[in-house]
């Protein structure tokens, strides 16, 4: 039987196949687009619930014990990464929806496959698990401010906040609360359910990108001319975070394994936590969700390079 780490290591090919199948079906049967859109929301909610159950929400206090590591991870994600995003924005097409998608996805640090890739690169998985809930709460609190600063108040004024707030509550707050309850119950009754749910994110994310491709095939076609420039910015972001993570680890004096964890924290982004917010936008803003899906694919290929480079740049002493 296939192991979960093997599935996670090759997940990019699963997603590419799902997108290709979704685009083909969307072009062959465009009348099914409303059905795909209706199914997308519960599947996305299930994906976020399964993902959040892998974040140790009930052990938030453990994240505060290693002050130097926590301060470096938060400082890198809260200050350095947004500055890098601001420097890259001039390379992105001057389209409000595209820029909103870029900012949404790049300022939000990852809380799921960040741990997987940290483990595969022989990083400090325990530190990654401990700091993850802190990153999750910080990103949700600071996201509106980053969007306002980097995209502009004139653009965000056009966004229907009521729709976004509804999506945030239904697809982030509710799964987050259910995940917390699940973790509390798992502490007293074993972790079999949590371990089974750990298999769910990859197939559920494949289902999500399939449904997006099938339902948004027109938006994908319209966004194609923009995707090359956006992908270039995403590749430069990965290169910048690689340099930033290694430099910060050496400046602060983190142990090599903790330094690798820091670098993966800066390089990985939380694409499908912000995806519901983009999907809640009006049709004129559909490019934002396409940009977010593209970023996740670019990042997954980038992580294959990170797995080779990060251990070499931060070798064990």
pLDDT digits (tens, 9 = 90+) for 238-292: 999 999 999 999 999 999 999 999 999 999 997 777 877 787 788 778 888 889 8
pLDDT at site 8: 74
pLDDT at site 167: 62
pLDDT at site 166: 66
pLDDT at site 165: 63
pLDDT at site 241: 97
- Which residue do the tokens 């699963």 mark? 14
pLDDT at site 91: 93
pLDDT at site 94: 87
Alpha helices for the chain (secondary structure H): 4-9, 11-28, 33-53, 67-75, 81-88, 96-106, 113-120, 125-151, 153-156, 161-168, 174-189, 192-197, 201-215, 217-252, 256-267, 271-279, 287-313
pLDDT at site 125: 79
Per domain, the residue ranges of the chain are: 4-313
Token pair belonging to 216: 């948004």
Q: With beta carbons less than 8 A apart as the criterion, state whether 197 and 53 touch.
A: yes
pLDDT at site 247: 97
First to last CA, the chain: 36
**CA-to-CA distance for 234 and 256, rounded, in angstroms?**
26
Q: Which of 134, 150, 20, 53 is nearest to 92 (CA)?
A: 150
- Spans of the chain, pLDDT less than 50: none
Three-class SS of residue 313? helix
Entry pTM: 0.81
Question: Domain 4-313: which topology?
Answer: Na+/H+ antiporter like fold (1.20.1530)
Token pair belonging to 40: 């997308």
């Amino acid at each position: 039987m296939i192991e979960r780490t093997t599935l996670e290591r090759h997940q990019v090919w699963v997603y590419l196949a799902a997108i290709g199948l979704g685009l083909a079906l969307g072009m062959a049967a465009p009348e099914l687009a409303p059905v795909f859109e209706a199914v997308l929301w519960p599947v996305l909610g299930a994906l976020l619930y399964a993902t959040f159950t892998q974040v140790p929400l009930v052990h938030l206090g453990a994240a505060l014990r290693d002050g130097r590591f926590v301060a470096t991870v938060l400082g890198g994600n809260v200050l350095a990464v947004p500055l890098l995003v601001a420097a890259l924005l001039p390379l992105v097409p001057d389209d409000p929806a595209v820029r909103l998608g870029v900012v949404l996805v790049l300022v939000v640090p990852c809380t799921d496959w960040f741990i997987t890739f940290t483990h595969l690169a022989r990083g400090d998985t325990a530190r990654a698990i401990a700091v993850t809930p802190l990153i999750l709460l910080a990103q949700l609190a600071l996201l509106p401010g980053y969007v306002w600063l980097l995209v502009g108040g004139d653009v965000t004024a056009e966004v229907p906040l009521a729709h976004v707030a509804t999506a945030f509550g239904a697809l982030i707050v509710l799964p987050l609360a259910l995940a917390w309850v699940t973790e509390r119950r798992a502490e007293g009754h074993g972790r079999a359910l949590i371990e089974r749910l750990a298999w769910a994110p990859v197939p559920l994310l494949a289902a999500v990108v399939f449904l997006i491709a099938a339902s948004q095939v027109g938006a994908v076609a319209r966004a194609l001319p923009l995707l090359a420039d956006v992908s270039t910015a995403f590749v430069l972001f990965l290169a910048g975070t690689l340099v930033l993570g290694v430099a910060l680890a050496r400046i602060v004096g983190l142990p090599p394994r903790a330094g690798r964890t820091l670098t993966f924290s800066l390089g990985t982004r939380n694409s499908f936590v912000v995806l519901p917010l983009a999907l809640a936008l009006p049709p004129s803003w559909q490019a934002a969700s396409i940009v977010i899906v593209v970023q996740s694919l670019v990042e997954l290929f980038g992580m294959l390079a990170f797995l080779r480079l990060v251990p070499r740049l931060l070798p064990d002493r």
